[in-house]
Structure 1
Amino acid sequence: MEDTSLERLGAGKYLLITSYRKNGTPVATPVWVVRDGDALGVWSAADAWKVKRIRARGDVLVGPCDLRGNPTGEQVPATAEITDAETTAHYRKLIARKYGLVGRLSLLGSRLRRGVDGAVGIRVTL
């Protein structure tokens, strides 16, 4: 079942990742997602609040959603961790491949605004 969930979530266009504030309040955020072996890969600005929340607490909920973050399926428990620069670069390539021109333009815009170190990868394991 876990592999089926991984395939389904990795094949979707958006992933709703719910991280938690220090006081335990859940915060859901829609993100682009790619499958990376036995995990899911997400890319985000390094100074985003979701990155800060994941650094403090790695347990998250993930599930499929639409562009606006409306859930389109069940959320499942997962663990999220911030990746190193090499894995972040790998996720950028996977995102560019999956999301085509829009993905490449978003990655380019991010690199121009924030530089190479302005984004991080987030590895999500179910």
Structure 2
Amino acid sequence: MTATTLLDFGDEPYVLLTTFRANGDRVGTPVWVARDGDHLVVMTAAGTGKVKRIERNALVELTPCDRRGRPKPWAVTLTGRAEVRESEGDADATRALVKAKYGVPYRIFTGIERIVRRLKESPRVALWIHPTADVPDYLATP
């Protein structure tokens, strides 16, 4: 049996992304995740709590979970460093990876999201999550 790596989580349908408040409290959110080479990617709306927490503290934990955020019985939690990528190119590339992985459920979810937001397209950002051993220099310190 080989050790699980953060990049292995790119094969999971849902991952609990845990970010940290200023007081150290953990905040977990189930997310769709895809692998992009040497890092994982997540698509999210700009300005969400998780984006604000990552901008303040790049340390994150990831745990395979179900769609409600309940960790799988065998799940291990691994640490990484996340960065918020706001460029349109990064968001488009991440959207394409997530769309390719999730297909019809992705299209249904984004369609419902548009209706709920009254047909307004909310700005999206990409989250790049790096294994802690492979963190770029500019993310090495919180």
Give TM-score scaled by structure 1 length.
0.88
Is the 2:7–2:39 contact (alpha carbons within 8 Å) kept by the matching residues of 1? no
- Partner in structure 2 of residue 70 of structure 1: 70
Question: Can you give the 5+ residue segments of structure 2 that lack an aligned partner in the other structure?
Answer: 132-142
Separation of aligned partners in 1, 2:27 and 2:46:
17
Larger mean CA deviation between 84-93 and 25-34 belongs to 84-93
Match of 1:88 in 2: 91
Paired positions, count: 124
Q: How big is the alpha-carbon RMSD for the aligned residues of Structure 1 and Structure 2? A: 1.9
Contact 2:10 2:40 survives alignment (8 Å): yes
Quote the residue 1:123 is aligned against.
128
- Secondary structure of the equivalent of 1:23? coil
Aligned to 2:17: 17
Query: Per-residue deviation at 1:6?
Result: 3.7
Q: Which runs of 4+ in 1 moved over 3 A?
A: 107-114
Partner residue in 2 for 1:46: 46
Q: Distance in 1 between matches of 2:129 and 2:89?
A: 16
> How far has the Cα of 1:109 moved from its partner?
4.9
Q: What TM-score results when the alignment is normalised by the length of structure 2?
A: 0.79
Distance 1:89 1:49 in 2: 21
Q: What do the CA deviations read for 1:19-47 (whole angstroms, capped 9, x no partner)? A: 00011111111100000000000011112
CA distance in 2 between partners of 1:64 and 1:6 (Å): 10
What's the offset of the Cα at 1:107? Answer: 3.3
Q: Deviations over 1:55-77 (max 9, x none)?
A: 11101111211111111211111
Percentage of matched positions with identical amino acids: 37
Q: Is 1:58–1:80's contact at 8 Å kept on the other side of the alignment? A: yes
